[in-house]
Amino acid sequence: MFVFILALLIVWPIAEIYVMVIVSQAIGFFWMLTLVFLSTLAGILVLRHRGRVHWQRLRGAVSDRRPPAREAFDGVMITTGASLLIIPGFITSGIGLLLLFPPTRYLVRIATFFLFASRFSVATSTATWTASRYGGPRTGEQTYDMEVEAVDVTDRVDSTAPQIPPPQPHDPVGDGEAP
């Protein structure tokens, strides 16, 4: 894996420079720089605007008490796409644009699910929030009132600390006689 990452760090910039040279030969050096600058500016604007919108969608899903998995995944994909637009280069900008469009995000979501679904197990559970901050107490639900007694336990034995009674022997048979 280390060799793959090292090769990617060497090959990727060379490929970006090669594509920039090809584009500058086709449209001119000034226009190539203009496109790189506009791509960076677009990435900053998308990150600022869409990041705020997806944060609100994520908060809305949590407040509606539904799993925010889709909103979180879309937020990560949009943030990654906008960050790739900010990085100078046409290959990274192309990948970033693909991550910004909903149809390609959907395809990436499906591909990611099939690639990583076998590596994770999903456990579901339900929870009730009864604090007034989360919508107040539920009507029709039982409340449980418990009477408990606290015992102070200390490491040293003296006359002021309460003594804990010794444990009773366990009776697995249930006939009243200890083993």
Does the structure show a pLDDT above 80 at 173? no
Residue 9 and residue 11: Cα distance in Å, rounded? 6
Range name among 34-48, 59-73, 146-160 with the lowest pLDDT average: 146-160
Does the structure show a pLDDT above 60 at 135? no
Burial of residue 165 (CB within 10 Å: 0-12, 13-18, 19+) is exposed
pTM over cut 0.85: no
Does the structure show a pLDDT above 90 at 29? yes
pLDDT in tens, 78-114: 999 999 999 999 999 999 999 998 899 889 888 888 8
Q: What percent of the chain has pLDDT over 70?
A: 69
pLDDT in tens, 44-61: 999 888 878 888 888 888
CB burial readout 81-116, b (16+ within 10 A) else e: bbbbbbbebbebbebbbbbbeeeebeebeeeeeeee
| Rg value, the chain, Cα | 30
Q: CA dist 163 to 83, 113, 156, 167, 169, Å?
A: 65, 58, 10, 12, 18
Task: Give 122 or 71, the one with higher predicted confidence.
Answer: 71
pLDDT in tens, 1-21: 788 888 888 999 999 999 999
Mean pLDDT of 54-69: 83
